[in-house]
Amino acid sequence: MRIYSGERLCSKCFTKSIEDKVKATIARNRMFKPDDRIAVAVSGGKDSTTLLHIMTKFEKLFPKASLCAVTVDEGIRGYRDEAVRLASEYCQRSGVEHFITSFKDLFDVRLDEMVALLKDKVRTSNEALSPCAYCGVLRRRALNVVARQAKADKLALAHNLDDEVQTILLNIMHGDAPRIARVKPVLGESHPMFVPRVKPICEVLEKEIAFYAYLRKTEFQSTPCPYAPTAMRNDIRQMLNRLEEKHAGTKYTVFRSVEKIRPALEAAEKETFLHACKVCGEPTVGETCKPCEMLRKIGAK
């Protein structure tokens, strides 16, 4: 039973309801053109394998569209290796072209090595530098680069409703109004080197994605990242789950609230112009891009 709506669904109707919801999100936000080449970011977890499965179903309805998968190996021993293997096997079975890149290839340093450098840094400064902060910024860059290599018109991310609401609350806690406005289903960047990002499952609850994957008997990686407990996002997740249990529909309420205030936030934001980072040449608002700044801070190349 769906507590927030009161619906009682059999497994067939449940599966259809998820696919209909994704279809509606795609249509309402005009995410794709009929001849788009779409790169799905696949990590090997339940969300991204589910998104790839749904997108392969939809692709059949659009003969001019083409689909591929992109994966970033951050370099987390005992965690990402297995996920990359599962992602590759899944793509092979589904007949989807698969592009893989890694932090090592792009930045010459694995996340595990960065974490060791971060520990040294924390000992010598007061700055709070977390593995997830590095991982998030560098993964966004890596996904953009690999999607460009795959010649994709759109990069489809498997952010579910829980992810989006957690990000909204984290941005509120940091008082970051422009970033609150940027938590939205389509992020079309105004620079030719950016591949526009879309989030087709952003209105589906995480537990419903998990149930959809369970019904399909999808094999996905379920062990959590060893660095996850250090992230504040983890505590926000638990808090939101407690709230949702007590007040069903809370997550949708937060998501819809941001939809209402986004026009005001966007209107207050100054127009920014992008140019090439003086170190790596990727587009950025400042002189040096965030990934280059972060890598310099820990003494990596």
For 260, phi and psi rounded to 5 degrees? Answer: -70, -40
Name which of 157, 204, 208, 198 is nearest 26 in CA terms. Answer: 198
Which residues, 218 to 277, sit near Zn ion by CB under 5 A? 277
d(CA 175, CA 180): 9
Contacting residue, 45, 75, 131, 291, with ligand SF4 by CB under 6 A? 131
d(CA 167, CA 172): 9
CA 287 to centroid of chain Cα atoms: 26
Q: Which two tokens stand for residue 180?
A: 């609150």
- Residue 75 sits in the site that holds ligand SF4 (CB under 6 A): no
- Residue 220 sits in the site that holds ligand SF4 (CB under 6 A): no
Q: Give the count of residues interacting with ligand SF4 (CB under 6 A).
A: 9
The option from Zn ion, ligand SF4, none interacting with 135 (CB < 5 to 8 A, set by class) reads: ligand SF4
Name which of 58, 75, 96 is nearest 226 in CA terms. Answer: 75
- Residue 84 sits in the site that holds ligand SF4 (CB under 6 A): no
d(CA 166, CA 301): 32
- Residue 225 sits in the site that holds ligand SF4 (CB under 6 A): yes
- Residue 136 sits in the site that holds ligand SF4 (CB under 6 A): yes
Q: Which residues of 160-186 are buried (b: 16+ CB within 10 A; e: fewer)?
A: bbbbbbbbbbbbeeeeebeebbebbbb
- Residue 116 sits in the site that holds ligand SF4 (CB under 6 A): no
Output the smallest distance, CB 157 to ligand SF4, in A: 13
Name which of 165, 142, 188 is nearest 280 in CA terms. Answer: 142
The option from Zn ion, ligand SF4, none interacting with 292 (CB < 5 to 8 A, set by class) reads: Zn ion
Q: How many C-beta neighbours within 10 Å does residue 88 have?
A: 16
Taking the C-alpha atoms of 38, 43, 49 and 55 in order, what is their torsion angle to the nearest 10 degrees? Answer: -10
For 8, phi and psi rounded to 5 degrees? Answer: -115, 120
Output the smallest distance, CB 74 to Zn ion, in A: 18
Q: Which stretch binds ligand SF4 (CB under 6 A): 8-16, 19-27, 179-187, 224-232?
A: 224-232
Residue closer to ligand SF4, measured from CB, 137 or 243: 137
Strand partners, 2: 7
- Residue 280 sits in the site that holds Zn ion (CB under 5 A): yes
Residue closer to ligand SF4, measured from CB, 225 or 298: 225
The option from Zn ion, ligand SF4, none interacting with 289 (CB < 5 to 8 A, set by class) reads: Zn ion
Output the smallest distance, CB 251 to ligand SF4, in A: 20
Residues that bind ligand SF4 (CB under 6 A): 74, 131-132, 135-136, 225, 227-228, 231
Residues that bind Zn ion (CB under 5 A): 277, 279-280, 289, 292
